[in-house]
Chain A
């Protein structure tokens, strides 16, 4: 049996990766951000093995050496710290810890929060209530203060720092996921899956999660920046990462006492933080549009105009 139908025109569509690439090219800021973040990521991976010795070896003659001394090797271009260690090398080495703490905390909180959010949005009202109250409790903690106390009592290590930061961020993912699940589960395609007899797990992981995922990706990118700032603040206060480990936040703190005569000690690591968080914010803004089928045209239109 065939039926006469005149509407057989189908829109052609490029593949996902191609599409994302084109949209990235259309947004120059996001492109720069991505390049910068990849650069930082590479530094984080190779930094400690590459420059580890150079960054820790003291050189008392080069104490607080000023930046922009083009005569010396490139690692000295940003000057040196109070013990004569080259700042540029130290910043590169510190990248690993800085990114690792943030990445660990974001991954941990995102996975836990999403999982709890899925449960809260898809189970009985009672379970939902319990989970939401839990989130309320965490949200109403003065999180930075709690972190201070917990780290003080438990002692500060990279792992503890990750855990504390992760706990304070769980509610963000939990609430977002739950709100989305509550909305999506009423959508017609979920009802259609139920009518076909799909199991709860199938509905949750095959139909609901893929729709929530873009939102969560955007959120996690933004949160990465937030957690990085929180970590650097804790390290700045002296209760985050402890020497001889270094992070950018700790470097700012170490340079603080030399502010008046050697501003560069605090300035460069601060700049590294700003550039990274800014890149993450830009990437998050771009993702928000690129992953939204309703808004995507904005970027695709630009791509057409310029390309």
Chain B
């Protein structure tokens, strides 16, 4: 039965936790051949990474336990092998790269040392390992590889670190590479480069790739076949095209329909008197210019999307508009008053009009306050909004408005899921009855299906209450269905500013075009066309 390189059969893994035994994966089976790429697609809590941890012997037992199944590598069951034998396979025949290369590289050793270790662990002699490490770094495209060998992980950028991880994983030419969300923490343009590198290396070595992802776009770009998982169960499997074009399971259907960037685009109303008018805002941190003169106008009830990769200055802009940080120069007129020169008393009043929703609701909600305390804190700080007698009633109203229930008032944030928490954060912002809400990556930490729901909620609030939004995101498709205007930022500059239709359909700037091209489309056919176009441009 050694016709597949890897075969996972009826694997079940459970974990002992505070709430009892949790079955992380139940009875899942899949297989993978040489030279093939299989994607495991799932959202958080789907157990998509568990089987790969089992392959690599990375599950801590206890609390984990493999309750049934076998994992065959070339027909030999890994689960019945001794720890010593498993170790001989790890790194040599099966290698792995991870989502967050910064924490997965040892911070106190040089990358050269870490790559050499991958080789010497399996018996390569030191001199050979040194020359191989140099060759590998050169191959994965690290600039100045000889010096890079002696650098520490924190001295590289995110994309370079992932390249280092890849170099380390491929040091011994493994038969199988497991990539666990390898590009999730990276900017879109870097993501495209890293995925392209993986494909090139696959063609060179003929290895099989098992890629674990939550992103339909990544699946469409790299995978041959896909396995869809939901809550520990394998719900659907097939070729990428089959599954996308003709999904069978309701969960797969939901996942595909939730992918952003397919609805109608907004057609913004004629521009009137702006509610916020930003002129030439600049900010530097030491020698680093974070903002190089940002100007834009925002109309009442309008949504301005600010899109840019890491280091573009988009979050700095948000912090400055909220006076969490002070600008070096420039003006921001809120209804004609410059909010940068406001006195503390004026600023205190302004806080009611200007609110913010943060990226990660786990961190933006005080873990030791109940939902009621979190939302009513707005009225403790601004007592003239609402008399205390009406607080309870109003909190209940707000919770219903954001899709939760009054019965959730006495709960603590950690009892909710990520999407629910972001709803609480939105309810808190609404408690002050603001006219502008700044959302800093407000949906990027959420699962795709939840993301769609939260965006729908924000859009509904905008329509019903006439709230204006500044919506900061690193991802273009997310803002397509929601924004009126889009501002593209790069390295502290505004690259392009226009209506959503203009930016998406007739981008004027190369950078915007590159950003759009690098974004991955969930439709494998569209994505194949993108790729062909990219290759044409490259050649």
Q: In the complex, is A directly touching B at CB under 8 Å?
A: yes
- Where the two chains meet, the residues of A that have a C-beta atom closer than 8 Å to any C-beta of B are 1-5, 7-11, 13, 187-189, 191-199, 202, 207, 210-211, 293, 296-297, 300-301, 304
Q: Contact: A297 with B428, CB < 8 Å?
A: no
B420 contacts across to A, CB distance below 8 A: 5, 7-8
A196-B381, A197-B347, A198-B381 are contacts. A13–B453 as well, Cβ < 8 Å?
no
Q: Considering the complex, give the chain B residue whose CB is closest to the CB of A12.
A: B415
Beyond known contacts A7-B450, A189-B366: 18 more, CB 8 A cutoff: A2-B403, A3-B402, A5-B453, A7-B417, A7-B419, A10-B408, A13-B415, A191-B358, A192-B364, A194-B324, A195-B322, A195-B354, A197-B348, A197-B382, A210-B368, A296-B18, A297-B17, A297-B18
Contact B414 A197 (CB under 8 A): no
CB pair B381 A202 closer than 8 Å: yes
- A109-B348 Cα distance, complex, nearest whole Å: 36
In the complex, residue of chain A having the shortest beta-carbon distance to the beta carbon of B357: A192
Cβ of B263: which chain A residues have Cβ within 8 Å of it?
A: none
Contact of A195 among B351, B423, B457 (CB under 8 A): B351
B412 touches A13 (CB 8 A): yes
**Other-chain contact of A198, B347, B377, B405, B419 (Cβ < 8 Å):** B377
Complex CA–CA separation, A72 to B382 (angstroms) = 72
Is B364 in contact with A196, judged by CB distance below 8 angstroms?
Answer: no
Within 8 A of A (CB), among B354-384: 354-356, 358-360, 363-368, 377-378, 380-382
Q: Is B24 an interface residue (CB 8 A)?
A: no
Complexed CA–CA distance, A13 and B413 (Å) = 12
Judge if B16 is at the interface, Cβ distance under 8 Å. yes
* A3 close to B382 (CB less than 8 A): no
User: Looking at chain A's contact residues, is the secondary structure mostly helix, strand, loop, or mixed?
Assistant: loop
CB<8 Å pairs between A and B, sample of 25:
A2-B403, A3-B403, A3-B456, A3-B460, A5-B403, A5-B404, A5-B420, A7-B420, A8-B405, A9-B417, A11-B415, A13-B411, A189-B366, A191-B358, A192-B356, A194-B324, A195-B322, A195-B355, A197-B347, A198-B377, A199-B381, A202-B381, A296-B18, A300-B18, A301-B17
CA distance A192 to B351 in the complex (A): 11
The 7 A-B residue pairs whose C-beta atoms are closest, nearest first, are: A197-B351, A188-B364, A3-B403, A188-B363, A297-B18, A300-B18, A189-B366
Are B401 and A189 in contact (CB-based, < 8 A)? no
Residues of A within 8 A of B364 (CB): 188-189, 191-192
In the bound assembly, the distance between CA atoms of A192 and B425 in angstroms comes to 9
**Alpha-carbon distance between A5 and B456 when the two chains are bound, in angstroms:** 11
B218 to chain A, nearest CB (A): 24
- The answer to whether A8 touches B404, judged by C-beta atoms less than 8 angstroms apart, is yes
Which residue of the partner chain A has the closest CB to B21?
A: A304
Chain B: interface size category: 35 or more
A187–B367 alpha-carbon span in the complex (Å): 11
Contacting A10 at CB < 8 Å: which of B17, B380, B415, B428? Answer: B415
Q: Is there an interface contact between A188 and B360, defined as CB atoms closer than 8 Å?
A: yes
Q: Which residues of A contact B411 (CB under 8 A)?
A: 10, 13
Shortest distance from the beta carbon of A24 to any chain B beta carbon, whole Å: 16
Interchain CA distance A1-B404 in the complex, whole Å: 11
Are B368 and A211 neighbours in the complex by a CB distance under 8 Å?
Answer: yes
- Complex CA distance for A296 and B17, rounded to whole angstroms: 11
Q: Which residues of B contact A13 (CB under 8 A)?
A: 411-412, 415
* A196-B378 contact in complex given A8-B404, A187-B363, C-beta closer than 8 Å: yes
CA distance A189 to B366 in the complex (A): 5
Residue B432 at the A interface, CB < 8 A?
A: yes
Q: What is the CA–CA distance of A188 and B432 in the complex, to the nearest angstrom?
A: 18
Look across to chain B and name the residue whose beta carbon is closest to the beta carbon of A3: B403
Query: Which of B324, B354, B382, B403: most chain A CB closer than 10 A?
Result: B403
Docked CA distance A10–B420 (Å)? 10
Residues of B contacting A293 with CB < 8 Å? Answer: 367, 414
Q: Which residues of A contact B401 (CB under 8 A)?
A: 1
Q: Closest B residue to A214 by CB, please name it.
A: B368
Contact A191 B351, CB 8 Å, known A197-B381, A211-B368 = no
B286 CB to closest chain A CB (Å) equals: 16
**Which residues of A have CB within 8 Å of B417?**
7, 9
A192 touches B428 (CB 8 A): yes
A residues near B352, Cβ cutoff 8 Å:
197
Least Cβ–Cβ distance between B399 and chain A, in angstroms: 11
Residue of B nearest to A190 (CB): B366
Considering only CB atoms, which chain B residue lies closest to A298 in the complex? B18
Q: Give the complex CA separation of A301 and B15 in angstroms.
A: 11
Q: Is the CB of A192 within 8 A of B358?
A: yes
Residue B510 is within 8 A (CB to CB) of chain A in the complex: no
Which of these, A193, A202, A301, contacts B16 with CB under 8 Å? A301
Are A2 and B400 closer than 8 Å at their CB atoms?
yes
Question: How far is the CB of B481 from the nearest CB of chain A, in Å?
Answer: 16
- Per the bound structure, the CA–CA distance linking A2 and B403 in Å amounts to 6
Q: Does B505 contact A (CB under 8 A)?
A: no
Our pick among B354, B359, B366, B432 for the contact of A207 (Cβ within 8 Å) is: B366
**What 0/1 pattern do residues 203 to 220 of B give for CB contact below 8 A with A?**
000000000000000000
CA distance A199 to B464 in the complex (A): 32
In the bound complex, residues from chain A placing their C-beta under 8 Å from that of B381 are: 196-199, 202
**B387 in contact (CB, < 8 A):** no
B511 within 8 A of A: no
Within 8 Å CB of A188, what residues of B?
Answer: 358-360, 363-364
Give the CA-CA distance A210 to B368 in the complex, in Å.
8
Q: B351–A189 contact, CB under 8 A?
A: no
B298 CB to nearest chain A CB (Å): 18
Distance between Cα atoms of A4 and B401 in the complex (Å) = 11
Closest residue of A by beta carbon distance from B373: A206
Contact of B377 among A1, A7, A8, A196 (CB under 8 A): A196
Of A187, A196, A297, chain B has the most CB atoms within 10 Å of the CB of A196
In the complex, A281→B250 CA distance in Å?
55
Question: Using Cβ atoms and an 8 Å threshold, which residues of chain B touch A1?
Answer: 401, 460, 464
Choose among A11, A192, A301 the residue with the greatest number of B CB atoms under 10 Å from its CB.
A192
Of the listed residues A1, A9, A193, A301, the one surrounded by the most CB atoms of chain B closer than 10 A to its CB is A1
Could you say which of A9, A189, A193, A304 contacts B18, with CB atoms under 8 Å apart?
A304
